[in-house]
Amino acid sequence: MTGFVTFVSAGPGDPDLLTVKAVKALGRADAILFDDLSSGPILALAKPGADLVGVGKRAGRASPKQDHVSRLLVDYALTGVHVVRLKSGDSGIFGRLEEELTAVRAAGIACEIIPGVTSASAAAAAAGIPLTRRTHAQRVQFITAADTTGNLPPGLNLPALADPQATTVIYMGKRTFPALAEALIAHGLPPDTPALLAEAVSTPEQVLHRSTVAELARTLEEERSPLPGLILVGNLAAGA
């Protein structure tokens, strides 16, 4: 008898931003495999006796390999239990969800996905700004600025990313932002385009830093905090 896997999107960290469906799944699970950024108070919603297994990956730290995480997820489910895979933000946005889905389905295990609040939406809300504006930001684009090696991914559509009329949200980009900013400016993005660095969004450690693309690139070249963060670029990042 095989178990069941629920992929739960934990949101950016504040338990109050979980969906009702996510809370119910956490309370039913026999085992929870969680990311670093979805640990802490969210795990208090687990039922007594549930196995809590940390499988998170963080830049610059020793982390489990993805194939190990997928194998562990399958192994738990094959014992017949209900497993929650607790993933940070929205699991379908730069969360390597597809690889884990593929492993689970290949093993014949039933599963479901519970969507959640992505860090981009939470950062914009914390900063008091929308992600779109009818006349000046009619498009939103999400990118990751780190490939599997931690470097700037090749093949980025730089002309699209340099569009000053779009809101660009950059995940996992603090280390590579100086190089990305240089490339965007070379493709026509004004250096004084507003940029917002949002760190530890929705947690007590939250920090919001408004700047420009050029200024933020210089800042991150010199110093980076260990807090998880993402960067919003575009006219709306300047705030009201």
Phi-psi region of 80 (alpha: psi -120 to 50; beta: other; left: phi over 0): left
Q: Is 57 a catalytic residue?
A: yes
- Whether residue 85 is predicted with pLDDT greater than 90 in this model: the reply is yes
35 is catalytic: yes
Which residues lie below 8 Å from residue 238, measured CB to CB, with a gap of 6+?
A: 194, 210
Write down the pLDDT at residue 148.
81
pLDDT of 16 reads 95
Active site annotation includes 172:
yes
% of the chain surpassing 70 pLDDT: 96
Tell me the CATH number for domain 119-238. 3.30.950.10
pLDDT reported for residue 62: 53
Which listed residue (21, 24, 36, 57) is catalytic?
57
Q: Where are the domains of the chain?
A: 4-114, 119-238
Angle between helices 213-222 and 177-186 (to 10 degrees): 150
CA distances to 185, 202, 212 from 121, rounded to whole Å, are 25, 11, 20
95 CB-near residues (< 8 Å, 6+ apart): 87, 88, 89
pLDDT value of residue 38? 78
Residues 213-232: pLDDT tens digits?
A: 999 999 999 999 999 999 99
Looking at residue 170, its pLDDT comes to: 98
- pLDDT (average), residues 7-29: 96
Q: Which residue in the block uniquely carries the two structure tokens 């009818």?
A: 134
Q: What is the pTM of this model?
A: 0.90
pLDDT tens by residue, 130-173: 999 988 888 999 999 998 888 999 999 999 999 988 999 999 99
Of the residues 35, 90, 163, 174, only one is catalytic, namely: 35
Mean pLDDT in residue range 100-126 = 96
For residues 233 and 213, the answer to whether their CB atoms sit within 8 Å is yes
Confidence of residue 236 (pLDDT cuts 50, 70, 90): very high
Q: Round to whole Å and give the CA distance between 172 and 177.
A: 9
Q: Average per-residue pLDDT in the chain?
A: 93
More confident residue, 238 or 85: 85
pLDDT (tens digit, 9 = 90+) per residue, 27-66?
999 999 999 877 789 999 999 999 999 997 655 555 678 8
Return the pLDDT at 24.
98
CATH number of the structural domain 4-114: 3.40.1010.10
Which of 155, 125, 152 lies closest to 239 in space, CA to CA? Answer: 125
Catalytic residue among 30, 87, 90, 172: 172
Question: What average pLDDT does the segment 87-111 reach?
Answer: 95
